[in-house]
Chains A and B, each alone.
Chain A
Amino acid sequence: MKKKLSIGNKVVASPYLLWSILFIIAPMFFVVYYSFTTSSGAFTMDNITELGKFTDTFLRSIWFGVLATIICLILAYPIAYIITQTSANSQRTMVALVMLPMWMNFLIRTYSWMAILQDTGIINTFFRKIGIGTVHMINTPGAVILGMVYNFLPFMILPLYSVMSKLDKSVIEAAQDLGGNRLTIMQKIIIPLSMPGIASGLTMVFVPSVSTFYISQKLGGGSFDLIGDVIEGEFQQLYNYNLGASISLVLMILILLCMVFLNKFTSNEEGMVI
C-alpha cells in the first residue's frame, strides 16, 4: 500500500514537473542560447560586447531602482507600524485598502499620474490659481521615481506589516521593563526583528523597479529610458531578439547578485541580534 502511494505521489506531480521543464527551464535556456548566437543561429560574442553602449542605461536603472526602493522603505515602515497598532478590524480594512489599488490596471494608474503631473494637469492648475505658477514635473527623473514608488509601495507595506503584526508583544514589554526608551526599543527590538520583512520588501520593490518599462516611457517622456525600455524596444520595435536576450541575461544575473547580497546582509543582521 505504502509503495503504491509513493508512486501515486510522483504521478500526480508529473504534469507540473513536465510543465516546469518545458516552460520555466527551457525558456531560460533559450535566453542564454539567443544571447550567444546571431539571427541565423551561429555562435557569436557580439551581443555581449555590444552591451557596453547600454552602460548608462543600466546604471540609471539601478540608481532609480535603488532610490525608489529606499523611498518605499522610508514611507512604508511607519505606516506598517501604525497599522499594527490599531484594532484587529481596522487592521483588516487598512490592509485591504493597501491592496486594493493593485487590482487596478497599472497602466491606467500610471497614466492617471500623467494627468495629475503634466503642465496643464491638476496640480499645476491649482498652483497657477494660487499664484505659484507652473512647476514642471512631468518628464523628469523625479516623476519616473514617483511612478515606481507609487506602483510598488504596497509590495513594501504588506511584508513589513505581516512581520510586524506577528511580533511578540511581550518582548517589547520586557524591553520597556528593562528601561528601554522608545528609540532604543525601535532600534534594538522592532527593526532587527522586522528584518525578514524588510528584506522581502526590498526585493519585491527593487526587482520590478529596476526592470520596469512602461513607467519610464510615460512619466519620463522617453528621455530617461531604463533597461526595460531597451529590452522592450529590441523585441517589439527593432526585432533584434539576440541583443534583447543578452540584455535580459545581464539583467537577470544582476538581480540574482542583488538578491544574494541582500540575503547575506539580512542573515548577518540576524547574527548580530544573537
Chain B
Amino acid sequence: MKIPSKVYTFLIFLFLYAPIIVMIVFSFNSSNSTGLLAGFSFKWYSVLVGEKDIMQALYNTLILAISSALISTVIGTAAAVGIDKWKKNWLRSSVMGVTNIPMMNPEIVTGISMMLLFVFMGKLIGKEEILGFETILIAHVTFNLPYVILSVLPKLRQTDSFLAEAAQDLGCTPIKAFFKAVLPAISSGIVTGMIMAFTLSLDDFIISNFTTGPDFQTLPLAIFAMTKKRVKPDMYALSTFIFVSILVLLILTNVAQARGEVKKNKIAKGDA
C-alpha cells in the first residue's frame, strides 16, 4: 500500500472506531462524567450488575432474539425450499417482490405499519393493550424472514436438483430424502441466515420501538430510555460488554468455520 492510501485507510477506520473507543475508555472512568477522565475503575460494571431493569431487558432481548431467529429460520427455510422449485412466473416474482418489502421499506414505516395492524386487531378483539411479547416477536420474525430466505435460496440453486430424486430412487421417502440429502447441502446457508436473524433481532431498535408495550422492554429500548436523560457510564459499560461478547462470538464462529473447512479439505483429500 502506498502512503496516501495508508493514511486514508487509517483516517476512515479512526472515524469508524472513534465513538467505540471513547465508549470503552469512559466505561472504565471512575467519575460519572462522559466527557472528562478522572481515573480507572470497574465501578460502572458492578453498578450495571445491580440494575434489575437492565438485566431483565437483557434477558428479554436474548429470549426474543433466540425465538425469532428459530421461528424465522424454520418458516424461511421451508419457504426457500418451496419457492426454489417454482417455475419463473408472475407468482414467483410477486412473492419475491413481497419478500423484498421489509428490506427496502424504511424501518420506521415497517414499524408503524405493523403497529397499526396490531392496534386495529386489538380494538377488534377488545384488547387495548395488545402490544407486548407476542407482537414484537411477530415483528422480528417478519423482518428476519427475508434474510433467511435470501441466504438459503442461493445454496439451493447451487445444489444438484437430482440429489433428492437420487435419494428417493435409493428408497428414501420424499421427506426423508429432504432431511438426508438436501438439508446437509444447504445447512451453511441456513446457519448464515439464522445468525443474521439473531443479530438483527438483538440489535433492532426502530421496529421494536413501535411494536412492543411497557411490559416487554428490550435492551435497545432500555438504552433509548436511558439516553433521553443524562447518561451515566454504566451504559457505556453495558455496551462495551455487548461489543466484546459479539467480538468473541464472531471470532469463535470464524475459527469454527476455518476448522470445518480444514476438516472438509482433509476428507476431500482422503477420498481422492
- Taking Cβ atoms with an 8 Å cutoff, the residues of A that contact B are 1, 4-6, 8-17, 19-20, 23-28, 30-31, 33-34, 75, 78-79, 82, 85-86, 94, 96-98, 100-101, 103-113, 115-116, 118, 120-122, 125, 150, 153-154, 203, 207-208, 210-211, 213-214, 218, 228, 231-232, 235-236, 241, 244-245, 248, 251-252, 255, 259
Query: How many pairs of A and B residues are in contact by the CB < 8 Å rule?
Result: 207
Q: Given A122-B35, A241-B116, list of 16 further CB < 8 A pairs?
A: A10-B82, A17-B79, A27-B113, A30-B116, A86-B1, A101-B20, A103-B199, A107-B205, A107-B223, A107-B224, A108-B239, A110-B19, A113-B19, A235-B112, A248-B113, A255-B106
Q: In the complex, what residue of chain B is closest to A81 when comparing beta carbons?
A: B5
Q: Are B17 and A105 in contact (CB under 8 A)?
A: no
- On chain B, the number of residues with a Cβ less than 8 Å from chain A's Cβ atoms is 75
A8 engages B174 (CB within 8 Å): yes
Task: List residues of chain B with CB under 8 Å of any chain A CB.
Answer: 1, 5, 8-9, 12-13, 15-20, 22-23, 26, 34-36, 75-76, 78-79, 81-83, 85-86, 95, 98-99, 101-102, 104-110, 112-117, 119-120, 138-139, 141-142, 145, 149, 168, 174, 199, 203, 205-206, 209-210, 219-220, 223-224, 227, 231, 235-236, 239, 242-243, 246-247, 250
Chain B residues near A10 (CB-CB < 8 A):
82
Given A28, A85, A97, A105, which contacts B203 in the complex, CB threshold below 8 Å? A105
Q: Tell me the interface secondary structure of chain B in the complex.
A: helix
Residues of A within 8 A of B20 (CB): 101, 104, 109, 112
Which residues of chain B are near A30, meaning CB under 8 Å? 113, 116-117, 120
Question: Across the interface, do A112 and B142 meet the contact criterion of CB distance under 8 Å?
Answer: no
Query: By the criterion CB–CB under 8 Å, are B23 and A16 in contact?
Result: no
**In the complex, chain B residues whose CB is within 8 Å of the CB of A116:** 18-19, 22
A14 to B91, CA, bound (A): 13
Asked if A5 and B112 make an inter-chain contact with CB atoms under 8 angstroms apart, the answer reads: no
Contact between A78 and B19 (Cβ–Cβ < 8 Å)?
A: no
Bound Cα distance from A23 to B235, whole angstroms = 34
Instruction: Check B250–A115 contact: CB distance below 8 A.
Output: no
Rounded to whole Å, the gap between the CB of A93 and the closest CB of chain B is 11
Which residues of chain A have C-beta atoms less than 8 A from B26's C-beta?
Answer: 115
| Closest A residue, CB atoms, query B120 | A30
**B248 nearest CB across to chain A (Å):** 12
Residues of A within 8 A of B82 (CB): 8-14, 16
